[in-house]
Amino acid sequence: MAEEAVGFVILSFDGEEYDCASVNPTKNTGRKPVPTMNRTGEVKHTSNGIRTYGLTVAVIIPDGKDPINWLTVKNARVSIESETGNFRETYIDFNVQTISDSYDVGGETRRNLEGFALSYLEESI
């Protein structure tokens, strides 16, 4: 029997749902190699660094006034959850760094948001 997978996600900024075309979260552990000179010429040591969380979100550009001024999004709480509610993760204190708009001949318009979050919470439901 096939297992169910997350089909689509619901994106919310500070509790308000917002239509999106794609969401690409990135979690970086901060671990890195520490190169040293030795006979083998290989890295033997690692160090723990600072965890970082990045988000790239493609939202739909509405025909009219956008309900969110994306330039001012600072310290927002961004939640991504499945339609069933069995999967949910939250990025805390999300800050938008870069905004770029995309227009396509096929009629797709998107606003691409890139930024970082200060904390991450994987919620078990």
pLDDT in tens, the chain (125 residues): 777 777 778 888 888 888 888 999 999 999 999 999 999 999 999 999 999 999 999 998 888 888 888 999 999 999 998 888 888 899 999 999 999 999 888 888 899 999 999 999 988 66
- Residue closest to 119 by CA, chosen among 86, 82, 92: 92
Give CA–CA dist 24/78, Å, rounded. Answer: 12
pTM for the full model?
Answer: 0.82
